[in-house]
């Protein structure tokens, strides 16, 4: 029989609907927690070390040092955190498990080099004239920490969340205990932090090796997917946006104070923002919880309807449920965070002045920072929703807006003087969240169209 | 300069089979006519080797792959959609009226460029509207991809076709409707040249069978009651029926192989005055040497051992026959690998009837080795087009018994014209599935020598008079000449 209609049936299988994105979305949601854990643990142990009679300056300097390492490592690994995790979750979906480890090595290799080079550059400025050993330790610690963040991004994608938490706890516990031990010797503290990061990296990579086998050592397949390369910039810009306000404060003459060598701190900003970020714990936890428990159920229902059985009516029905689930997710997380914020602000006298013995002068600043951090949480929620829907171009767009806004408004606030510190982050979060909500609405309004015709378009 | 451009959809020269053989015959037997082949294939990798020795008078050969994604790998960033997508609705409606757009290559390039077809919001909502308008209750994703997949080839074809329009072509000939027929209609319209449509089977009818058997229309045991799978098939058949209607409308001549097929064409919208019957022809001389005087008491069934050939009825008929006639054998000649379960059931049936010594499964055999040993050939199919095996038996002087499907009655009893009927029958035609009628027919032919000789004479006369290869070639030659003249072109033959 003449005719090709026969072969049509072979081609119908190209329905690539985003079941595979789950791991990626999950990873983005959870990796927002990693640095929070680091900050919390170091903060708690510093307080304990101070209570136990540690040298106030040494402990405080170490805090600045660790924050600098973490910031630089997050930005350096940001290039591949999203891109590689996305690559890995695709391969897991295709059951090509043997590609995970060789590409993990490939990504580690690049991330370590980027981390080391940026560590050398910033470390040279900070410590070269002060102490060559600290300079070297700074560079290698940034390199190893970059590897840590890449590994934990992969593991979160694999839902090994408990193990990650456990690894972070153990290694930071060691770093924390060493504060108690070496509370007066800065070089030893820096060394022990480096060793704890090594241990963390070994623990995380052990888990990865245990999960997967490999038949080759290095591969760079993850660089070969042109349509995913956009995530390289997204990751970098996103983390740059998260840290740009801190760097501006550390590098502006008006606000910074040299601590060790040229490494500076900005007490008026650092202390409030640390406390504000710690206050995000309930919101971040709620984000994990609601994503997993409620949002995911409707997300899964909608996409399995698309894949397996849904009539057009079903698709509209489940799409509406999914849209309500998105709205509920945002509202629930923000509601919990705002209630918590109100409690903190009402109880601030007792909490900050008495319990944490923070000078009264910081209080107005802390209030603003708590609100700013809450707005940033909204941005994180939206960012993770975007990653669930694989809206890669939109992820880049909102990251750029957040970075630019944070840079611009924070710089302006520094120039305007101490009364305005913190408003920069607040406006950056608010504007980029509004923009993200606008984009999200555009997507959800026509979710069927974007799902079928061109999800890569947004 | 191309005298005749043949649009081969999924056939010549890559796939061997009835239509390809027919095309090859046409080209090799008209040495003074310059042919061109426009091959429409699904994907490049599906066609590895050319199966025929390409004749010298095949002077133009172009391939278009309608499911490859190579040509559109790079989407253009900017494109514009000028048309209203609702226009595509008519391709899926029951009676297509306004279709000129679909024949115009600019429609696909300017109004709806490929990127627009794939990405435009309105195109997507057109598919939703179509779904709603027809009140479907099926998996939307299946529906969506079906619509996409049946329409996509149009862009592949019309984006690759420019250099064909630059050729000097005198006539376009499509051996099927479908995409090839649509393209033929478009070439005719654009270049103002005659267009012949030959249908070897009825595309939409066979497509229907194909769709019923298509594996990808998944079975949902759990949801079976919930799903009505029929609508999806209806989408297909409506679409391909409409493509057929467009080619019927534009064709100057619509050729069928036998009267029954012509009637179906007319019922599907072909104008009766355009229709003409040109039966397939065979190389009679080659088979004439196999004629013999003896009547071997052996019946041959020639065909694949599959359900549609109804081999079980044959076995039952033979059982009835064997009660009366002890010395008869039956050979089942044809491959059994296509439906192994069915073949196994047939063998079991033979065993249960205790006919193992008399009914022999021979597998594939060359007819030159087969015909000297058999006195009668038979087909018991549920559906047929125009089976060549009847003509081949006739050429070898062997009567035929067949069920009343396709062109079987016309071939056996004569039905081409008055002259053909006057020759008389060359065998018997029975109802489908009627084992006792078949048995009776076999008995009459094999055990009545006078009747056998009459049938033999009629068979030879009919095939030599009407169904030779030369006849077919001459008919097409005349058709080509007649049409070219009416379009003001020169004659082909000197």
Q: How far is A268 from chain B (nearest CA, A)?
A: 49
State how far the Cα of B425 lies from the Cα of B412, in Å rounded to an integer: 6
Comparing B476 with B488, the larger pLDDT belongs to B476
Instruction: Spell out the residues 6+ positions from residue A338 whose beta carbon is closer than 8 angstroms to its own.
Output: A374
Q: Which one of A228, A247, A282 terminates a domain? A: A228
Does B172 score more than 90 pLDDT?
yes
Does A30 score more than 70 pLDDT?
no
Average pLDDT, integer, range B478-490: 82
State how far the Cα of B417 lies from the Cα of B136, in Å rounded to an integer: 47
Let me know if residue A234 belongs to a domain: no
Interface contact flag, B10 A457, Cβ < 8 Å: no
Q: How far is A16 from chain B (nearest CA, A)?
A: 11
Instruction: Spell out the residues 6+ positions from residue B279 whose beta carbon is closer than 8 angstroms to its own.
Output: B257, B258, B386, B407, B416, B466, B467, B471, B472
pLDDT in the model for residue A354 = 75
Let me know if residue A5 belongs to a domain: no
Does B259 score more than 90 pLDDT?
no
Q: Based on the domain organization, do A224 and A274 belong to the same domain?
A: no
State how far the Cα of B55 lies from the Cα of B24, in Å rounded to an integer: 8
Let me know if residue A246 belongs to a domain: no
3-state SS, residue B330: strand
How many domains in chain A? 2
Q: List the single range of A256-265, A314-323, B227-236 with lowest mean pLDDT.
A: B227-236
Residue of B24, B139, B223 to mutate, interface with A, max A Cβ within 10 Å = B139
Comparing B413 with A96, the larger pLDDT belongs to B413
pLDDT in the model for residue B353 = 93
Q: Based on the domain organization, do A320 and A183 belong to the same domain?
A: no
State how far the Cα of B385 lies from the Cα of B277, in Å rounded to an integer: 13
Q: How far is B368 from chain A (nearest CA, A)?
A: 25
Q: Which one of A178, A205, A228 terminates a domain? A: A228
Q: How far is A425 from chain B (nearest CA, A)?
A: 36
Interface contact flag, B139 A311, Cβ < 8 Å: yes
Does B441 score more than 50 pLDDT?
yes
Phi, psi of B58 (to 5 degrees): -90, 100
3-state SS, residue B196: strand
The beta-carbon neighbor of B10 closest among A2, A315, A448 is A2
Q: Based on the domain organization, do A300 and A221 belong to the same domain?
A: no
Burial letters A417-441, b for 16+ CB under 10 A, else e: eeeebbbbbbbbbbbbbebbeebbe
- Count other Cβ atoms within 10 Å, centred on residue A225: 13
Q: Based on the domain organization, do A209 and A279 belong to the same domain?
A: no
Does B206 score more than 80 pLDDT?
no
pTM: 0.77
State how far the Cα of A196 lies from the Cα of B32, in Å rounded to an integer: 88
Tens of pLDDT, residues B222-231: 333 334 446 7
Query: pLDDT band at residue B370, thresholds of 50, 70 and 90?
Result: very high
For all residues of chain A together, what is the average pLDDT? 84
Is the CB of residue A318 less than 8 Å from the CB of residue A295?
no
Comparing B200 with A202, the larger pLDDT belongs to A202
Q: Which CATH class is domain B284-466?
A: alpha beta
pLDDT in the model for residue B204 = 54
Tens of pLDDT, residues A431-442: 999 999 999 999
% of chain A at pLDDT higher than 90: 40
pLDDT in the model for residue A238 = 92
Instruction: Spell out the residues 6+ positions from residue B165 whose beta carbon is closer than 8 angstroms to its own.
Output: B105, B187, B190, B191
Q: Based on the domain organization, do A90 and A140 belong to the same domain?
A: yes
Tens of pLDDT, residues A346-361: 988 887 777 777 788 8
Is the CB of residue B91 less than 8 Å from the CB of residue B144?
no
Let me know if residue A337 belongs to a domain: yes
- Interface TM-score (ipTM) > 0.85: no
State how far the Cα of B441 lies from the Cα of B454, in Å rounded to an integer: 15
Tens of pLDDT, residues B133-170: 877 778 888 888 888 888 888 988 898 888 899 889 99
State how far the Cα of B259 lies from the Cα of B272, in Å rounded to an integer: 12
Strand-pair partners of B253: B196
Interface contact flag, A9 B9, Cβ < 8 Å: no
CA atoms within 13 A on the CB side of B199: 31
State how far the Cα of B384 lies from the Cα of B200, in Å rounded to an integer: 11
Query: pLDDT band at residue A2, thresholds of 50, 70 and 90?
Result: very low
Average pLDDT, integer, range B249-266: 90
Query: pLDDT band at residue B84, thresholds of 50, 70 and 90?
Result: confident
Residue of B140, B174, B233 to mutate, interface with A, max A Cβ within 10 Å = B140
**Which stretches of chain A sit within 8 Å of chain B by CB?**
1-15, 17, 306-312, 314-315, 446, 448-449, 452-454, 457
Provide the sign of the torsion angle of the four alpha carbons B333, B339, B342, B348, taken in this order: positive
Regarding beta strands B298-302 and B376-379, do their DSSP bridges make them parallel or antiparallel, or are they unpaired? Answer: parallel
Interface contact flag, B121 A308, Cβ < 8 Å: no
* Residue where the block lists tokens 């108690």: A180
- With CA atoms as reference, report the closest residue to B255 among B276, B280, B279: B276
Interface contact flag, B140 A453, Cβ < 8 Å: no
Q: Based on the domain organization, do A200 and A104 belong to the same domain?
A: yes
Let me know if residue A322 belongs to a domain: yes
Question: Can you state the angle between helices A363-388 and A267-278, rounded to 10 degrees?
Answer: 50
pLDDT in the model for residue B218 = 39
Domain that holds residue A183: 14-228
Let me know if residue A128 belongs to a domain: yes
Q: Based on the domain organization, do A177 and A295 belong to the same domain?
A: no
State how far the Cα of B157 lies from the Cα of B107, in Å rounded to an integer: 12
Interface contact flag, B9 A309, Cβ < 8 Å: no
* In chain B, domain spans: 4-277, 284-466
For all residues of chain B together, what is the average pLDDT? 86
Q: Based on the domain organization, do A336 and A416 belong to the same domain?
A: yes
Q: Which two tokens stand for residue A377?
A: 């949480």
CATH 3.40.1000, applies to B4-277? no
Residue of chain A with shortest Cα separation from B116: A453
DSSP B110: I
Strand order in the sheet with B427-430: B359-363, B329-333, B298-302, B376-379, B400-403, B427-430
The beta-carbon neighbor of B145 closest among A12, A314, A446 is A12
A311: which chain B residues are within 8 Å (Cβ-Cβ)?
A: 136-140
Interface contact flag, B125 A15, Cβ < 8 Å: no
Tens of pLDDT, residues A200-211: 999 999 998 888
């Amino acid at each position: 029989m003449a005719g090709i209609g026969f072969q049509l049936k072979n081609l119908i299988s190209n329905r690539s609907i985003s079941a595979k994105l789950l791991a990626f979305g999950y990873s983005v949601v959870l990796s927002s927690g990693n640095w929070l854990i680091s900050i919390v643990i170091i903060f708690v142990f510093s307080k304990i070390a101070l209570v136990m009679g540690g040298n106030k300056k040494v402990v405080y300097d170490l805090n600045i040092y660790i924050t600098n390492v973490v910031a630089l490592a997050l930005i350096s690994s940001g290039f591949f955190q999203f891109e590689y995790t996305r690559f890995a979750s695709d391969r897991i979906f295709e059951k090509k498990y043997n590609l995970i480890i060789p590409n993990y090595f490939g990504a580690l290799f690049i991330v370590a080099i980027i981390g080391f080079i940026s560590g050398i550059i910033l470390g040279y400025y900070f410590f070269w004239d002060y102490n060559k050993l600290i300079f070297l330790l700074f560079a290698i610690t940034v390199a190893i920490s970059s590897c840590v963040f890449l590994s934990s991004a992969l593991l979160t994608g694999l839902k090994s969340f408990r193990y990650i938490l456990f690894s972070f706890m153990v290694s930071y516990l060691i770093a924390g205990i060493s504060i108690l031990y070496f509370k007066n010797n800065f070089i030893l503290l820096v060394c022990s932090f480096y060793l704890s990061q090594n241990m963390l990296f070994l623990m995380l990579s052990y888990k990865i090796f245990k999960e997967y086998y490999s038949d080759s050592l290095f591969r760079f397949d993850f660089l070969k997917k042109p349509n995913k390369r956009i995530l390289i910039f997204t990751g970098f810009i996103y983390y740059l946006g998260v840290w740009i306000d801190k760097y501006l404060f550390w590098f502006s003459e008006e606000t910074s104070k040299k601590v060790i060598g040229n490494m500076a701190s900005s007490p008026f900003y650092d202390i409030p923002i640390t406390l504000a970020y710690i206050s995000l714990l309930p919101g971040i936890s709620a984000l994990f919880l609601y994503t997993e428990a409620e949002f995911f159920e409707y997300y899964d229902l909608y996409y399995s309807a698309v894949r397996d059985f849904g009539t057009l009516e079903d698709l509209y029905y489940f799409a509406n449920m999914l849209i309500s689930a998105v709205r509920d997710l945002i509202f629930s997380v923000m509601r919990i965070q705002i209630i918590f914020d109100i409690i903190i602000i009402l109880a601030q006298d007792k909490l900050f002045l008495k319990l944490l013995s923070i000078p009264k002068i910081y209080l107005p600043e802390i209030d603003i920072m708590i609100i700013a951090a809450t707005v940033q949480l909204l941005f994180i929620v939206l960012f993770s929703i975007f990653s669930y829907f694989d809206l890669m171009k939109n992820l880049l767009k909102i990251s750029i807006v957040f970075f630019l806004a944070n840079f611009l408004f924070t710089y302006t606030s520094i120039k305007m003087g101490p009364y305005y510190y913190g408003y920069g982050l607040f406006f950056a979060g608010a504007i980029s969240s509004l923009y993200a909500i606008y984009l999200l609405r555009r997507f959800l309004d026509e979710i069927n169209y974007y799902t079928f015709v061109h999800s890569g378009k947004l | 300069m191309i005298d005749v451009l043949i649009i081969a959809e999924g056939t010549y020269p890559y796939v061997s089979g009835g239509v390809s053989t027919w095309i090859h015959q046409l080209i090799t037997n008209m040495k003074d006519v310059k042919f061109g082949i426009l091959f429409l294939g699904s994907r490049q990798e599906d066609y590895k080797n050319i199966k025929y020795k390409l004749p010298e008078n095949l002077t133009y050969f172009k391939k278009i792959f309608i499911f490859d994604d190579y040509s559109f790998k790079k989407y253009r960033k900017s494109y514009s959609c000028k048309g209203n997508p609702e226009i595509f609705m008519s391709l899926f409606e029951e009676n297509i009226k306004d279709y000129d757009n679909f024949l115009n290559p600019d429609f696909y390039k300017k109004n709806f460029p490929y990127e627009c077809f794939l990405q435009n919001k309105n195109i997507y909502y057109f598919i939703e509207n179509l779904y709603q308008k027809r009140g479907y209750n099926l998996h939307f994703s299946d529906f969506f991809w079906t619509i996409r997949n049946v329409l996509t080839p149009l862009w592949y074809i019309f984006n690759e076709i420019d250099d064909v329009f630059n050729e000097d072509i005198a006539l376009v000939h499509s051996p099927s409707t479908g995409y090839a027929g649509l393209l033929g209609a478009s070439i005719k319209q654009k270049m103002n040249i005659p267009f012949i449509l030959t249908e070897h089977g009825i595309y939409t009818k066979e497509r229907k069978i194909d769709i019923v058997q298509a594996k990808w229309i998944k079975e949902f045991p759990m949801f079976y009651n919930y799903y009505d799978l029929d609508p999806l098939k209806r989408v297909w058949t409506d679409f391909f029926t409409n493509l057929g209607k467009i080619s019927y409308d534009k064709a100057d001549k619509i050729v069928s192989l036998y009267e029954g097929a012509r009637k179906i064409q007319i019922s599907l919208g072909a104008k009766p005055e355009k229709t003409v019957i040109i039966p397939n022809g065979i190389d009679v001389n080659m088979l004439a040497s196999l004629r013999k005087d003896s009547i071997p008491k052996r019946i041959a069934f020639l065909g694949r051992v599959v359900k549609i050939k109804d081999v079980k009825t044959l076995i039952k008929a033979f059982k009835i026959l064997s009660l009366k006639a002890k010395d008869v054998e039956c050979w089942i000649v044809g491959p059994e690998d296509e439906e192994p379960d069915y073949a196994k059931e047939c063998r079991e049936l033979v065993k249960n009837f205790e006919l193992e010594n008399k009914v022999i499964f021979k597998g594939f055999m060359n007819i030159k080795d087969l015909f000297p040993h058999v006195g009668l050939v038979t087909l018991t199919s549920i559906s047929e087009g125009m089976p060549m095996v009847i003509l081949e038996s006739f050429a070898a002087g062997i009567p035929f018994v067949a069920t009343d499907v396709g062109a079987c009655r016309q071939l056996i009893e004569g039905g081409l014209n008055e002259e053909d009927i006057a020759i008389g029958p060359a065998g018997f035609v029975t109802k489908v599935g009627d084992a006792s009628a078949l048995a009776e027919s076999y008995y009459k032919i094999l055990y009545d020598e006078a009747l056998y000789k009459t049938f033999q004479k009629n068979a030879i006369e009919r095939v030599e008079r009407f169904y030779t290869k030369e006849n077919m070639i001459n008919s097409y030659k005349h058709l080509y000449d007649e049409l070219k003249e009416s379009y003001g072109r020169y004659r082909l033959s000197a």
